[in-house]
Amino acid sequence: MNFSMKKLIIMMMRVFFFMLALTIFSCGSDDSGITPDIDTTVQPEPEPEPEPEPEPEPEPEPEPEPEPEPSDNVPPSDNFDLSQWKISIPTDEDGSGTADDIKEVELNAGYQNETYFYTADDGGMVFKCFVDGFKTSTNTSYTRTELREMLRAGNTSISTQGVNGNNWVFGSAPAIDITAAGGYDGELNATLAVNHVTTTGSSSQVGRVIVGQIHANDDEPIRIYYRKLPNNELGSIYFAHELNQGDDTYFEMIGSRSSSASNPADGIALDEVFSYKVKVVGNDMWVTISREGKEDVEQYVDMSASGYDQGGQYMYFKAGVYNQNNTGNADDYVQATFYSLSQSHTN
């Protein structure tokens, strides 16, 4: 082999190895042409991220309390039988100078007065009377919003007064009166709450109201009082028995009628519901006060010497509020709500 041939072979081998080296170098470098360092350190596996705590469920919003049912504003006669009653209220719409009377037919046909006589939201029959107002006669000292029993039930051919079909008599009355009257003996039952009494006026009158009566020609065999003094939380119950043309005798049933009485231990609060019953048989009268959860309180009255068994003495029940304060502020008032009212007689 000549020298030129050897030289050519050597040059070709150099080119071959150069190309081989170049190829190896290209395979071990990145796109930038720079061979990266190889990190042989073992990297720890990353800790798993903690599960997110579930968000607490929101507490349910409390259901709103139901709003009280709005009052239907029905007249009292929708809830009570008033066919044998009339009412006196301390207004003077007819210009007579005395309190207005709403007779039994009109009263039982839906009469109401938004100030003095109306239906409460709970269905009770409300009686309200201010110190200032028109009175039933010039001989009366106090205002009233009060029912008067009318046994004639709208029959205006029967007079309001007298021993006749509009009124009743005691069973001890003469036989001729028993025959002529609308009934004899009687029972009055009422369930009520006194809502407000007067807080102004003289100490002898403040806080008292009559809520039930038997009325005779001129006198009252019974007047039932509720009285709560301004500084007391509870009120008292007592009644007066008036002799025919005579004096009053008082009977205290719960608490005292005194104008300086302390808070009665077992008294009746304003808005507290209680019941009274008045029963007359002949010359005997029983008065009962009842309250839920309490023992009844009963008082007996012997009326044999009271003068109501004489001829010509007629009776009628009354119920509502008869304000017994004429010295208080003009806008001071009494109020009671009746939840039941019934009367009966022997015929």
What domains sit in the chain, N to C, each tagged with a CATH number?
A: 87-346 (2.60.120.200)
**Sequence-separated (6 or more) residues with CB below 8 Å from residue 71:** 119, 120, 121
Q: What is the CB-side half-sphere exposure of residue 202 using CA atoms within 13 A?
A: 6
| Predicted model pTM | 0.80
For 277, other C-beta atoms within 10 Å of its C-beta total: 17
* Residue 45 parent element (H or E): none
pLDDT of the chain, 347 residues: tens digit per residue: 555 566 666 666 665 666 665 555 554 444 444 444 444 444 555 555 555 565 656 565 655 544 434 446 899 999 999 999 999 999 999 999 999 999 999 999 999 999 999 999 999 999 999 999 999 998 899 999 999 999 999 999 999 999 999 999 999 999 999 999 999 999 999 999 999 999 999 999 999 999 999 999 999 999 999 999 999 999 999 999 999 999 999 999 999 999 999 999 999 999 999 999 999 999 999 999 999 999 999 999 999 999 999 999 999 999 999 999 999 999 999 999 999 999 999 99
3-class secondary structure for 60-108? CCCCCCCCCCCCCCCCHHHCCCCCCEEEEECCCCCCCCCCEEECHHHHC
